[in-house]
Structure 1
Amino acid sequence: MTDERPKPKYGELAPEGWVWKPPQEAVPDADESASPAPATVPARSGPVVRDARAPGAPASSRGGSGDPGVRAPIATGDAIVTSLLLAIGFFTTINSIASLLDLRRVIQQVLDIQKIDVTYTATGAASLLGIVGSVVLALIYAAAVWLSVKALRARRRAFFIPLACGVLSFMALFFVLMLAFFADGALINAIVDSQGA
């Protein structure tokens, strides 16, 4: 079945009195609710990249130069807390590294405080574990600083990075200390004997 009616000519089906008006450019300061019909925006020279933080607003055009004011500012509170946590982590890491580099003396002091009458003899293992532990703690702190700065530059929350790295450093320090304690068989026997007495 074919349509035998004549095809309408341009403008024949428009309502009486209707006049076509060309689209106007959108004014950035104008209130959108004041206009009865949404304004159409003329086509740009390049593809428009939308900003995920502001739906509907163009972030930049790849064809033109980027607007430096489009990126969200760094959260001041997050930057302050992250910097404070990194400063605390720095002093804690330096103190822990100093203790690890003299691990035999630290373990002997712990034994004297606990009144366990034994001399720590695994000095070679303590020196090696102290060096390995110091390198691991330094690498964890360096990773915390690098990841925190990277997150702050990307305008993401960063305060949890030093916290997570602090927990990781504590676990690594505890593991190194346990290995150093268990490296001396005489010390383990003395601790077992003191617990049984």
Structure 2
Amino acid sequence: MSDPQLPAPEDRRTPPAYGEYAPEGWEWKPEGAPPAGAGAARTAASTPAGSGGSPVPGVPHNLGARGGDGAAGAPAPAAPSTPAGDAPRSPTAAGSDPEPYRAAPPQQPAPRAPRDRAPGTEPGPRTGDRVVTILLLALGAFGALSMAQSMLGLAPSLAMILDAFDLQDVETPSWLGVLGSVSAIAIFALYAVSLIFSIQRMRARKITFWVPLTAGAIALIGIIVVTSVAMAAIPELMTALADPASTQQLLDYMAEMTQ
């Protein structure tokens, strides 16, 4: 008889696993389960031949032990049901850690094509356009210098024409000198603008030959307008030019001046 004051000995045995001490051939069947023959028939029908589905002697079948290659005859685990509206889980979420998030590299914007060439074509050197533009700018420099000099001598030129028509008593307006000086400055400014604009377009590999041509046309039209205004300010000169013999008289005067 044990002493009631002594504590009960501690049981240090490892608790048995589920089904470890079950007798061979024992199987737990809940209430309302189908007969054993129907389940065995279904198991035999669903198990392929040679898959090693027969139990191993000495090991309870409810431990999941199988003969031969266990991976060949093991049924695939059923996928967990996903409630409606939830996204399915990725395979990495169940067994392994998910891959770290990596942002996509920034995309560089595509270069925009210049307006004066078709999209998708690379700009060429345009050597011919550059040569023509440089020649026109050189001619424009001499032309601008000549036009400016003629505008500065506008009043003396009109006085000489009056002398050719024997109109020495007619005086030229005093503002013709100011008009000629302003016109000369405008010509130089126009040439400078055309030169700078042409250099910028040539650096950008754009067609440029039309720039000095346009500047020369504007300068020529300006000289014609200024000269017409200056001659219209002298009515006696306009009357003399209306005479049909004025052209010959002017040529004779120029010939005498050159002798």
| 1:89 equivalent among 121, 140, 145 | 140
- Listed as ranges, the matches of 1:15-94 within 5 Å are 45-50=106-111, 52=113, 72-94=123-145
- Root-mean-square deviation (CA), in Å? 3.7
Q: Tell me the percent identity.
A: 29
> Residue 118 of structure 1 contacts residue 190 of structure 1 at CA under 8 Å; is this kept in 2?
no
Question: Structure 1 residue 118 and structure 2 residue 167: aligned?
Answer: yes
Match of 1:149 among 161, 184, 199: 199
Paired amino acid for 1:153: R
- Does the C-alpha gap of structure 1 residues 111 and 44 become closer, same or farther in structure 2, counting only changes over 3 Å? farther
Q: CA deviation at 1:171?
A: 0.2
What's the offset of the Cα at 1:89? 0.5
Structure-1-length-normalised TM-score:
0.61
**CA distance 1:191–1:153, change in 2 (3 Å):** same
Distance 2:206 2:161 in 1: 43
Task: Name the count of aligned residue pairs.
Answer: 149
Instruction: Tell me if the contact between 2:155 and 2:177 (Cα under 8 Å) persists in the aligned partners.
Output: yes
What is the Cα deviation at residue 189 of structure 1?
3.2
Change over 3 Å in CA distance of 1:45–1:54 after alignment to 2: farther
Aligned residue type for 1:87: A
How far 1:196 moved relative to its partner?
9.7
Instruction: Go from structure 1 to structure 2 and tell me whether the alpha carbon gap of 1:75 and 1:111 turns closer, same or farther (over 3 Å shift).
Output: farther
How far apart, in 1, do the equivalents of 2:223 and 2:120 lie? Answer: 50
The question of whether the paired residues in 2 share the 8 Å contact of 1:125 and 1:180 is answered with no
Q: 1:92 to 1:47 in 2, by over 3 A?
A: same
Change (3 A) 1:181 1:94: same
| Cα-to-partner distance string for 1:132-155 (whole Å, 9 max, x where unaligned) | 211111111111101111111111
1:39 alignment counterpart: none
Structure ranking higher on relative contact order (CA contacts 8 Å, 6+ apart): 1
Is the counterpart of residue 169 in structure 1 residue 207 in structure 2?
no
Specify the code of the residue in structure 1 equivalent to 2:194: A
Q: Which runs of 5+ in 2 are unaligned?
A: 1-89, 91-103, 247-259
Deviations 1:34-65 (A, max 9, x none): xxxxxxxxx864413235369669xxxxxxxx
Runs of 5+ in structure 1 lacking a partner?
A: 1-9, 11-42, 58-70
Q: Residues of 2 paired with 1:145 and 1:169: CA distance?
A: 14
- Work out the CA distance in 2 between the residues paired with 1:130 and 1:56: 51
| SS state at 2:110 partner | strand
Moved more, 118-127 or 138-147: 118-127
Quick one: distance in 2 between partners of 1:129 and 1:154? 38
